[in-house]
Homo-oligomer: A and B are copies of this chain.
Amino acid sequence: MEKRNLLLTIAYDGRAYHGWQIQENALSVQEVFQGALRQVIGDDFDVKGCSRTDSGVHANQYCISLKTGHRIPCERLVAALNRFLPMDMAVKGCRSVSLDFHARYSCKGKEYQYLIWNDPVRNPFLDGRAFHYWYPLDTDMLNQAAQAFVGKHDFTSFCTLDHRERDNMERMVKCCSVSREGSLVTFRVEADGFLYNMVRIMVGTLLRIAQGKIPEDGIPAILEAKDRSKAGPTARACGLYLNRVFYEEDL
């Protein structure tokens, strides 16, 4: 049977999952997704995710390429998968793409957001979905400080040590913002790619700036140092959302 290649977009609340990738002894998004897929089209599939994503991280838009010989129409596949998936996961769309498309390698950029509930009292509706930070944050100042991330930089200082890739630590950050709506503070960043834990370390560094432990204009020097120990700690996974994934045709 001739293969087709499909691009599926899903959303999931990551609280129950140890990231995308299938692994032993821990439930993953991929395992649950493939389980639903098996119910609908049997075993004839090869699935590629757009990125790993850590345990507890959420996705408003996660992209999957799916090679299959099965002829189910896109619309019916979406409806059927949503019936077999748990309530914390949903397929949002599906379309046919060329056979050489790969959810990860064809990706031209991504946007992440990080949510901080900035209030003395926790929000019972955001448990596991936003990082709770008690002390008032000056979001205008943080937004100003975060502009130093924009541009092409070596992000070695913003990458967890064990996961350094040898070759290229440069990434192009297109835009970056810190904004507030009531008690909810959102950090949003778009780049052509992200190193391991890069967004969470960016957020941890901004919180250090908020605490006065790193100067407001300290980010350029941290980038320059290419030294993980100069940046702030890795912020908790619960606040992180993969928001958008960009491919050639979208740009």
Interface of A toward B, CB cutoff 8 Å: 11-13, 58, 78, 82, 87-92, 121-125, 127-129
Q: Which of B11, B91, B123 is within 8 Å of A11, CB to CB? A: B123
Total copies of the chain = 2
Minimal Cβ-Cβ distance residue in B for A92:
B121
Q: Which residues of B lie under 8 Å from residue A11 when comparing CB positions? A: 121, 123-125
Contacts of A90 in B (CB 8 A): 121-124
Chain B residue at minimum C-beta to C-beta distance from A60: B125
Complex Cα gap A174–B88 (Å):
37
B89 touches A124 (CB 8 A): yes
Would you give the shortest CB distance from A93 to chain B, in whole angstroms? Answer: 8
Verify A13–B125 contact, CB threshold 8 A: yes
Q: Which residues of B contact A12 (CB under 8 A)?
A: 124
Chain B neighbourhood of A129, CB < 8 A: 125
The residues of B that contact A123 with a CB separation of less than 8 Å are 11, 90
Closest to A132 in B: B87
Instruction: Select one of B78, B88, B124 contacting A127, CB under 8 A.
Output: B88
Q: Report whether A91 and B127 are in contact in the complex, using a CB–CB cutoff of 8 Å.
A: no
Considering the chains assembled together, what is the distance between the CA atoms of A163 and B212 in angstroms? 58
C-alpha spacing A78/B159, complex, angstroms = 39
A91: chain B residues within 8 A (beta carbon): 121
Q: State whether B82 touches A124 (Cβ < 8 A).
A: no
User: Cβ of A78: which chain B residues have Cβ within 8 Å of it?
Assistant: 121
User: Is B13 a contact partner of A122 (Cβ separation < 8 A)?
Assistant: no
Q: Which residue of B lies closest to A79 (CB)?
A: B120
Are the C-beta atoms of B125 and A87 separated by less than 8 Å? Answer: no
A121 B82 Cβ-Cβ under 8 A:
yes
User: How long is the Cα–Cα vector from A90 to B124 in the complex, in angstroms?
Assistant: 6
